[in-house]
Amino acid sequence: MAEPMRIRATLNGDVADVRILMRHPMETGQRKDAKGNIVPLHFIQNVVVAHNGKTVLDAQWSQAVSRDPFLGLRVKGAKAGDKITVTWTDNHGDKRTDETTVAAAS
């Protein structure tokens, strides 16, 4: 089962600094397990970030993105309380969506 992401969104003026930590093996399909068998290709292919329901970033990834991937982006015209929604989809068709609200600048 896909594990939850950690999403931080903090305001810098009217730009939200969004940082996302995801749990995913991002297997390249070239690694062998302890028994010597190839671990199959398994990686996040697509990440969509939406701000109050509107897509702001649409990312396509290869298996070269690191395990337990991180994504940082900056959302324009943001206010405290706005919703940031993140959805990833992998090459197995698994997906995960998490969301957070933009926190006021500290």
Partner 1 sequence: MAASTIALGTAGLLKVGNALAAWNKPAFESKAVNDALKGIGAGNMIDSRDIAITAPDIAENGAVVPVAITSKIPNTQSISIIAEKNPFPLAATFDVASGAEPYASVRIKMGETSNVRAVVKADGKFYTAAKEVKVTVGGCG
Partner 2 sequence: MMATRRSLAALALCAIIIPLHAQSTPNGLAIGRKMLAEDNPGELWLDRGKELFFQKRGPKNASLERCDFGLGAGKLEGAAARLPRYFADTKLVQDLEARLVTCMVELQGLKREDLLKTAISRPLSNGSDIEALALYITSRSNGMKMNVTLDHPKERETYKAGEYLFHRRAGQTDFGCITCHGQADKRIRLQDLVNMTDKREIQEVVSSWPAYRGGHAVVRTMQWRLYDCFWQMRQPELEYTSDVSIALTTYLHYQGNGAVIRVPGFKR
Q: Binding residues for partner 1, per CB under 8 A?
A: 1-2, 4, 15, 28, 30, 45-46, 48-51, 53-67, 69-77, 85, 87, 89, 94-97
Residue written as token pair 């509107």: 54
- What is the contact mask toward partner 2 in residues 33 to 72, using x (rule: CB under 8 A)? -x-------------------------------xxx-x-x
Out of 12, 19, 95, 101, point to the residue binding partner 2 (CB under 8 A). 19
Q: How far is the CB of 74 from partner 2 (least distance, A)?
A: 14
Q: How far is the CB of 57 from partner 1 (least distance, A)?
A: 5
3-state secondary structure of 89: strand
Q: Classify strands 83-90 and 44-51 as parallel, antiparallel or unpaired.
A: antiparallel
Sign of the four-CA dihedral 1, 95, 60, 56: negative
Count, residues in the chain? 106
Phi, psi dihedrals of residue 98, rounded to the nearest 5°? -135, 155
Torsion of CA 72, 21, 47, 84, to 10 degrees: -70
Picked from partner 2, partner 1, none, the partner binding residue 6 (CB below 5 to 8 A depending on kind) is partner 2
**Contacts with partner 2, residue ranges (CB under 8 A):** 3-4, 6, 19, 21, 23, 25, 31, 34, 66-68, 70, 72
